[in-house]
């Protein structure tokens, strides 16, 4: 059909996605349609809006063969690894398993975190704090609370109940007064606009979306939504990016919107510029609304619930990234006695700045910070109202969530914006990892596959090796390295690994996991089996 249409056209332009995969698809289309790829047949746009598309069509370029070759190198590398290790896992363990250059590293991270948790030995410690009032000021119904800071001039870790009670008795037995007071101003700057991984993380934290769901929904926002008389409009810019750069035109539009909506005091004197990390391929802008003036409320009647949630997140983050800093007043006071120091800390937001619109979520539960800024002075007497001693234990590192695993992959230079969601989807669908209440756990089979990969294919799951391979692919895209040279460097030693595993790895029998669901035909308890589409229930007698 495409060949027929191309033959009848005066000009054919290839407008696939503006990334390496898109460039490779354009090259393949040029071959399939018999186009002259030495001529300017390629157009690309970061946003699907009338102006951007018209401008791009006026300025076609030649296909970038360096980007095509970088994608080809990645494709061949991934197939060399996947096509040679996966059949080995089928033969030695069970059918339906797979290995891959990026997925196996992701599985390793999840498995190693579980090993850290299993090996963790909790250590006891005690928190000591005191409720107090000071001077003649009235603090309201809620007393102020200070935490133990030092004993005999040194920071002290309280390890056991006996020590805790001894310090409690000292606090009870001595008179405290207010020591040094520090008042400071704290400035908090907004987060940059979204990259792909930042969007996936924030949608997980705030909307409870999986990474694959986030990409499905945002793809629709990028491709276009019917907005009544306006027709189909792409609401956000290109969605696979690791850049935080934004066009001058978009910044200007955002600043106009901020001034109109919030007033001049919420607008910094100069536009904010954000710098990408060293590894970012600054080819695309950050993910932002194509028109800052198109508010979520103005389009909500045309969007599904999930589309509206995600568009609101992208729009708010983008506008906030160009808003004024939030300002806090902080207050620190030492309460001192004979050899014991308690410390009171509070902060109060004096100007909301960007937080009037948006605040970035976190994976950790932060401690609640007191907001009372009392008016007592140095030397004022302190009245201790209550002393609290609480036994605690150190906690193991938390299991990965999709959000924190994506962040870890990005920080370690593993994979690209387009690979995060499919990678996590693969290790879940293969049954290597299970997800419970957002937390990722390696399964028995996941641990086994990871152990085999570490024993026989250590370089393939080596984090530094995988990150370095990404750098080498970048060099191909930049025209600094030939794509075949990367394969020549990799293949001989990899083939030796495969042959070694084929000869030494013994077949492992894994009994199927039994479920608590009876078979409706014979009553036997069903078992979990794997297919290309994930886990399913099957009768063991079938």
Distances (CA, A) of 280 to 130, 196, 275: 48, 11, 10
CA-based torsion, 46, 52, 53, 55: positive or negative: negative
DSSP alpha helices (H): ranges in 141-210? 161-173, 196-207
> Is 266 annotated as catalytic?
no
Tell me the pLDDT of the chain (542 aa) as tens digits: 999 999 989 999 999 988 889 999 999 999 999 998 889 999 998 888 888 899 999 999 999 999 999 999 999 999 999 999 999 998 888 877 888 889 999 999 999 999 999 999 999 999 999 999 887 655 556 789 999 999 988 888 899 999 999 999 999 998 999 999 999 999 999 999 999 999 999 999 999 999 999 999 999 999 999 998 988 999 999 999 988 999 899 999 999 999 999 999 999 999 999 887 655 555 688 999 999 999 999 999 999 999 999 999 999 999 999 999 999 999 999 999 988 999 999 999 999 999 999 988 876 665 678 888 888 889 999 999 999 999 999 999 999 999 999 999 999 988 888 889 999 999 998 889 999 888 999 998 899 999 999 999 999 899 998 889 888 999 999 999 999 999 999 999 999 999 999 999 888 877 778 889 999 989 899 998 866 666 789 998 88
Residue of 238, 266, 344, 358 marked catalytic? 238
Instruction: Name the token pair of 357.
Output: 């619109």
Per residue in 255-278, pLDDT (tens digit) is: 999 999 999 999 999 999 988 765
Q: Cα–chain-centroid distance for residue 371?
A: 30
Distances (CA, A) of 206 to 300, 313, 444: 19, 9, 31
**Pick from 426, 403, 410: nearest CA to 210:** 403
Q: Nearest CA to 330 among 369, 296, 302?
A: 369
Place of tokens 């990259």: 195
DSSP letter assigned to residue 302:
G
């Amino acid at each position: 059909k495409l060949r027929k249409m191309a033959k009848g056209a005066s000009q054919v332009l290839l407008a696939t996605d503006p990334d390496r995969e898109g460039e490779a698809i354009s090259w393949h289309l040029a071959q399939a349609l018999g186009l002259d790829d030495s001529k300017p047949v390629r157009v690309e746009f970061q946003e699907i809006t009338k102006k951007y598309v018209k401008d791009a069509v006026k300025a076609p370029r030649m296909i970038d063969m360096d980007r095509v070759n970088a994608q080809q190198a990645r494709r061949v590398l991934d197939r060399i690894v996947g096509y040679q290790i996966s059949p080995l896992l089928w033969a030695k363990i069970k059918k339906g398993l797979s290995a891959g250059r990026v997925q196996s590293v992701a599985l390793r991270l999840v498995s190693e975190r579980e090993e850290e948790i299993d090996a963790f030995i909790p250590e006891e410690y005690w928190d000591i704090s005191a409720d107090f009032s000071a001077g003649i000021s009235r603090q309201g119904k809620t007393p102020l609370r200070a935490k133990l800071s030092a004993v005999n001039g040194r920071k002290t870790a309280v390890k056991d109940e006996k020590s805790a009670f001894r310090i409690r008795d000292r606090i009870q037995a001595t008179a405290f007064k207010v020591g040094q007071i520090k008042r400071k101003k704290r400035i908090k700057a907004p987060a940059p606009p979204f990259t792909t991984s930042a969007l996936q993380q924030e949608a997980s934290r705030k909307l409870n979306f999986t990474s694959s769901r986030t990409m499905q929904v945002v793809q629709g926002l990028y491709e276009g939504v019917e907005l009544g008389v306006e027709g189909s409009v792409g609401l956000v810019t290109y969605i696979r990016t690791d850049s935080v750069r934004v066009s001058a035109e978009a910044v200007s539009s955002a600043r106009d919107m901020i001034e109109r909506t919030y007033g001049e005091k919420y607008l910094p004197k100069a536009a904010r510029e954000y710098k990408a990390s060293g590894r970012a391929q600054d080819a695309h802008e950050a993910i932002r609304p194509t028109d800052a003036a198109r508010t979520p409320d103005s389009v909500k009647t045309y969007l599904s619930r999930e589309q509206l949630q995600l568009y609101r997140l992208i729009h708010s983050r983008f506008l906030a990234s160009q808003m004024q800093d939030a300002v806090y007043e902080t207050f620190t006071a030492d309460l001192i006695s004979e050899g014991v120091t308690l410390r009171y800390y509070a902060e109060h937001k004096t100007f909301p700045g960007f937080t009037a619109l948006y605040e970035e979520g976190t994976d950790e539960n932060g401690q609640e910070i007191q907001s009372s800024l009392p008016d007592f002075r140095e030397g004022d007497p302190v009245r201790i109202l209550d002393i609290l001693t609480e036994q605690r234990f150190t906690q193991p590192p938390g299991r990965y969530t999709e959000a924190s695993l994506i962040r870890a992959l990005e920080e370690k230079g593993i994979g690209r914006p387009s690979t995060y969601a499919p990678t996590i989807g693969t290790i879940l669908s293969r049954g290597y990892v299970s997800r419970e209440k957002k937390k990722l756990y390696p399964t028995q089979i996941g641990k086994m596959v990871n152990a085999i990969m570490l024993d026989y294919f250590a370089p393939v799951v080596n984090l530094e090796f995988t990150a370095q391979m990404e750098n080498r692919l970048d060099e191909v895209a930049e025209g600094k390295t030939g794509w075949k040279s990367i394969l020549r460097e990799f293949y001989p030693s990899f083939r030796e690994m495969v042959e070694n595993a084929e000869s030494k790895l013994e077949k492992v029998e894994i009994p199927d996991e039994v479920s608590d669901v009876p078979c409706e035909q014979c009553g036997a308890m069903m078992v979990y089996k794997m297919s290309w589409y994930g886990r399913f229930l099957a009768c063991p007698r079938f």
